[in-house]
Amino acid sequence: MWMLELPPFTLFFIGGLIAAMTRGTLRGAIMVAIPVISAIHLWTVPEGIHLQLTFLDYELVPYRADKLSLMFGYVFHIAAFISIIYSLHVKDSVQQVAAMLYAGSALGAVFAGDLLTLFIFWELLAFTSVFLIWARRTTRAYHAGMRYLIIQVLSGVILLVGALFYAAETGSLSFEYIGLDSIAGWLIFIAFGIKCAFPFAHTWLTDAYPEATPTGTVILSAFTTKVAVYALARAYPGTELLIYIGAAMTCFPIFFAVIENDLRRVLAYSLINQVGFMVVGIGIGTALAINGAIAHAFNDVIFKGLLFMSMGAVLHMTGRINGSDLGGLYKTMPKTTILCIIGAASISAFPLFSGFVSKSMVMSAALETGHDWVWLMLLFASAGVFHHAGIKIPYFAFFAHDSGLRASDPPRNMLFAMFIAASLCIAIGIYPAALYSLLPYDTGYNPYDATHVLAQTQLLMFSALAFVWLNLRGMYPPELRSTNLDVDWVYRRAIPNVLQKLFAVIWKADGALRQAIRGKLSQYQSIIANKHKGLGGLLSGSYPSGNMVLWVAVLLASYLFMGFIG
């Protein structure tokens, strides 16, 4: 009974404390053991409410398990296990403690049965994950981390206000279907949207993730956006607005990813693209679409993690991550190259790889519900992701021109973590029934019908030919050393420039006003001095000493005032 009531996050929080007090092999062994033990425990947990308490007349449910939360719980344990193995060579307490607490916070959020518990873990996600960015200990990482933290905390504040409105409207804090019929619903929707990287609120992701450490980016890619996807699936299934938001998310990152030189930033845009598929599925809201959204979140954690791990390995071994500085690494990093290609094939939805069996569910649901234009957008996005993540990442990192770099494959723990992720990508692609059996609904979906396989293969071949043709014609955007801004141009360029000019005008007006007041006061001082310079003047006559003290005080006050404005 005690074990059943133990929320999954507790073991990770305990693990974080132990990681802070231990070193070396012992710390590594404990960190690897915790997700394994916790996963075994979670596998035995049945659906239902396992922890409930009363707070200020509200029923709080800190631990509730159902098929939706269990699905995310399983994949978060897999992600934590792979990430910890990948980072075993790291001897940095800050990163390792933060990673354990961050993974625990994500688990706390997906098993929260009320909005107050969700808010607590929502904010813990922000405060624990930012250390994975700051751990790189560069000026760019510090500033990116600060921007990341501000936006994440803002999301939490909006969620708290929404929860308070929700409690006032309904008399409950229960975290169930919410919808957009009230102010509370909109506020909570916006909070979820910020963490989910909705268009115009996505820049925290492309700004911060590439600045984290090689291992930190792998961990970051697994949790924050997936917690938001889970929250949307819980509170807003079938909300039509999500279909259009998700469709936009699948398309706009393609254009930025194509021109981006930093390969980890390319993957960050690709992450938004893939989350867009999940958001579309939640918006459609049918059993097949919800299954597709959840299955794709599950697969994305693994194949996107694999791609971030392969680029992290390149950064770790060469110290470079820009496409313009890399190339030819397949000669000395053959294992990393193969594992990266498996991740690229998975995210591109090649048949027999994991992305194919989940992305197709969302696209089929779009067609079934008559969203033909959305289906076309998803088709375009599928071709686009093959371009920038399926081809560009492995091509510019491992092939293209020979950069002269001769780095070897990374340490064995990093290779082993990538091998686990690659094996899962292939296993799920070959045998999707194992994944489908964990989904909330039994739809009897079969991804391997002839029409779907042929259509997807043709799309991928056409996209590959387009890439080759553009390259041969010299029309593909070259890899240039540059910093590309999208919406963050507003707060990183436009707003600072406007404020700089505005304050320049204010300081100029302030100086002119002070000068004018000083001139007038000097003028009045001269008039008073001239008027009373003789013995018959008001201030120069014979008066009691008390009157003179009063005038001295007045004059001193005048000097103080002039000094203040001067």
213, 345: one domain: no
Instruction: Provide the sign of the torsion angle of the four alpha carbons 106, 112, 115, 119, taken in this order.
Output: negative
Phi, psi of 341 (to 5 degrees): -65, -35
286, 219: one domain: no
Bigger pLDDT: 473 or 348? 348
The answer to whether position 247 is within a domain reads no
pLDDT band at 481 (very low <50, low <70, confident <90, very high): low
The answer to whether position 148 is within a domain reads no
The DSSP output letter for 417 is H
320, 406: one domain: yes
Mark which of 443, 458, 493 sits at the end of a domain: 493
Range in 25-29, 50-54, 544-548 the model is least confident about: 544-548
Percent of the chain with pLDDT over 70: 95
The answer to whether position 165 is within a domain reads no
The answer to whether position 90 is within a domain reads yes
Number of other residues whose CB lies within 10 A of the CB of residue 92: 16
pLDDT tens-place string over residues 35-86 = 999 999 999 988 998 888 888 888 899 999 999 999 999 999 999 999 999 9
Mean pLDDT for all residues in the chain: 90
386, 426: one domain: yes
What residues contact residue 195 under an 8 Å CB cut-off, 6+ apart? 122, 125, 152, 155, 224, 225, 227, 228, 231
The DSSP output letter for 427 is H
- Range(s) of the domain holding residue 456: 254-493
Q: Average pLDDT, stretch 278-305? A: 95
Mark which of 458, 475, 493 sits at the end of a domain: 493
Sequential DSSP letters for 475-540: -SPP--S----STTHIIIIIHHHHHHHHHHHHHHHHHHHHHHHHHHHHHHHHHHHHHTSSTTSTTT
d(CA 207, CA 268): 9
d(CA 514, CA 511): 5
Q: What is residue 175's predicted lDDT score, i.e. its pLDDT?
A: 94
pLDDT tens-place string over residues 482-496 = 666 677 777 777 888
317, 407: one domain: yes
User: Which range among 14-23, 415-424, 519-528 has the greatest average pLDDT?
Assistant: 415-424
Q: What is residue 526's predicted lDDT score, i.e. its pLDDT?
A: 82
Mark which of 227, 242, 272 sits at the end of a domain: 227
pLDDT band at 541 (very low <50, low <70, confident <90, very high): low
Q: Calculate the CA 212 to chain-centre distance.
A: 12
pLDDT tens-place string over residues 134-143 = 999 999 999 9
Type of residue at 24: G
Sequential DSSP letters for 309-351: HHHHHHHHHHS--BGGG---GGGT-HHHHHHHHHHHHHHTT-T
134, 258: one domain: no
The DSSP output letter for 174 is B
Q: What is residue 259's predicted lDDT score, i.e. its pLDDT?
A: 85
The DSSP output letter for 262 is B
pLDDT tens-place string over residues 415-456 = 999 999 999 999 999 999 999 999 999 888 888 988 888 888
477, 425: one domain: yes
**pTM of the predicted protein model:** 0.85
Number of other residues whose CB lies within 10 A of the CB of residue 559: 12
- How many CA atoms lie less than 13 Å away from 518 in the CB half-sphere? 12
Q: Show the tokens assigned to 361.
A: 């569910």
Bigger pLDDT: 183 or 561? 183
In this model, does residue 472 exceed pLDDT 90?
Answer: no
221, 348: one domain: no
Map residue 50 onto helix, strand or coil.
Answer: strand
- Helix, strand and coil percent figures for the chain, each rounded to 5: 75, 5, 25
130, 258: one domain: no
208, 260: one domain: no
258, 212: one domain: no
pLDDT tens-place string over residues 362-420 = 999 999 999 999 999 999 998 888 888 888 899 989 988 788 888 899 999 999 999 99
Q: What is residue 538's predicted lDDT score, i.e. its pLDDT?
A: 60
d(CA 106, CA 235): 17
Type of residue at 350: F
Number of domains observed in the structure of the chain: 2
